[in-house]
Amino acid sequence: MISPVRRKLAVLPLVLLPFATVAACGGENTKTDCNLNACTITFDRGVDASASILGIKAELVSVQGNNVTMKVGGQQITVPVGEAEQSDGFDVQVQSVTKDNVVVKISNSG
């Protein structure tokens, strides 16, 4: 029979897992809002901007008109505003582009 203390200690990592995953989001010149399956990243424009999210690195490379070029997990892709592309097993959707920032949602495609 498993003691109540051992049972609680065994369950504790599972309870804390969602917090560790959300806390793992962050970056340089970005703001992130993450859950277990997706992150919304607001990249600052005109500076080197990147974020480590969902176990990968996402970098803003350039913006030309309505096309956003990014590196996601080391793979470079170009995504038009309002559309989505796949990169390294993730769906990458550009939600908006302004003169100050770019908002992108990256989610697990599986």
Q: How confident is the model at residue 5 (pLDDT cuts 50, 70, 90)?
A: low
pLDDT of 2 reads 60
pTM of the full structure:
0.76
**Can you tell me which residue has the tokens 């097993």?**
89
Q: How confident is the model at residue 14 (pLDDT cuts 50, 70, 90)?
A: very low
pLDDT tens digits, 67-97: 999 999 889 999 999 999 999 889 999 999 9
Radius of gyration (Cα) for the chain, nearest Å? 17
Is the four-CA dihedral 28, 51, 42, 46 of positive or negative sign? Answer: positive
**Closest to 29 in 3D by CA, of 110, 101, 107, 106:** 101
Residue 61 phi/psi, 5-degree rounding, is: -95, -55
Residue 66 phi/psi, 5-degree rounding, is: -100, 10
Task: Enumerate the domain spans of the chain.
Answer: 26-108
